[in-house]
Amino acid sequence: MAPYKALYSRKCRSPICWAEVGERPLLGPKLMQETTEKVKLTHQRLKIAQSRQKSYADVRRHDRGYEVEDHVFIKVTPMKGQTWFGVKGKLALRYVGPYEILEKINPVTYRVALPPVMENMHNVFHVSILRGYLRDPFHVLKPTHILLKDDYTYAERSIQIVNRRIKRLRNKKIPLVKVD
């Protein structure tokens, strides 16, 4: 595809095509040769640019694949002001799991076994959202059961007050409570 057509989605009206229907000016072979040379040069430069951009993209790309019964972490995108699977804010979890892969649907799509607490969440994930987990017999995980609402949020409840103090500013006194 010609670069002009790629940019403007129509054919280029070069000096060869500018003539009206009734007129047929004779153009010399020199103009035709210059035009074809410029088109070839443009094609070469486009190929060079495409190969350069491909090499930049390939540096960050790597093929990942998992088998059935492998364990993976699921990437959780933290949203500002939302509490998902733990702490709110910048200390929020990036990944949750590990969860077992039940089925390989495509080379890039996997069905994951989620706990019953997360049954209302769709259990098919793209490979870009999954991260591998190497099983270690000494790595013991405590499953935490969280009751999720329909919008995948939950309410945190404090268990015990550990410490109290009052922070003094110039004009204010702010009561602080440490909860465990």
pLDDT in tens, 116-164: 877 778 889 888 888 888 877 777 666 666 777 778 777 777 678 888 9
Alpha carbon distances (Å) from 55 to 51, 73, 156: 6, 29, 47
CB atoms within 10 A of CB 61: 8
pLDDT computed for residue 24 by the predictor: 53
Q: What's 172's DSSP letter? A: -
pLDDT computed for residue 47 by the predictor: 93
The residue behind tokens 């640019």 is 49
d(CA 130, CA 101): 10
SS3 76: coil
Instruction: State yes or no: pLDDT of 42 exceeds 70.
Output: yes
Model pTM score: 0.46
Amino acid at 177: V
d(CA 3, CA 49): 13
Lowest pLDDT segment from 21-25, 38-42, 111-115, 148-152: 21-25
Lowest pLDDT segment from 16-25, 75-84, 119-128: 16-25
Element containing residue 118 per DSSP (H, E): none
Q: How confident is the model at residue 16 (pLDDT cuts 50, 70, 90)?
A: low
Q: Which range in 17-31, 45-59, 60-74, 111-125 is most confidently predicted, on average pLDDT?
A: 45-59
pLDDT top residue among 4 and 100: 100
